[in-house]
Amino acid sequence: GEDVEQSLFLSVREGDSSVINCTYTDSSSTYLYWYKQEPGAGLQLLTYIFSNMDMKQDQRLTVLLNKKDKHLSLRIADTQTGDSAIYFCAETPGGGADGLTFGKGTHLIIQP
C-alpha cells in the first residue's frame, strides 16, 4: 500500500531555515501536500504541489519535489517561534478527489 515517511523531529534555531523532508512510495501520486498542526488546533493547509512541478514558492515557504526519487521537502525561511508545530506531508493519487495518505508528522522545534 501507499506509504509516506517523515522524520519525527527537527530542531532549528530561530532565524535559520528549516527543511522538512518526506518520502513516499506511491508512484501514482498526483498531488502532494504540506499541512501544519499547532497544539489544540486542526490541520492547516500550507501548500500543495502538482506532480509535474519541481518547485513551488509561497512567501517563506518553498516546496521541492523530486519525482524520480519520490522525495518532497518543505523549506521555511527565517524560522520564527510561531512556526513551531507538527508538519504533515500527504499525498493523493486521484487528482485531489480522493482522501489523503499522511505521514506521521515532523515536530518542528525552534530554539531561541
Cell of 15: 532565524
Q: Which candidate, 57, 65, 58, 9, places its Cα nearest to that of 32?
A: 65
99 binds another protein (CB under 8 A): yes
Q: Is 82 helix (H, G, I), strand (E, B) or coil?
A: helix
- Give the x-and-dash track for 20-59 against another protein (CB under 8 A): -----------x-x-x-----xxxxx--x-x---------
Provide the minimum distance between the beta carbon of 14 and another protein in the complex, in angstroms, as a whole number.
26
97 binds another protein (CB under 8 A): yes
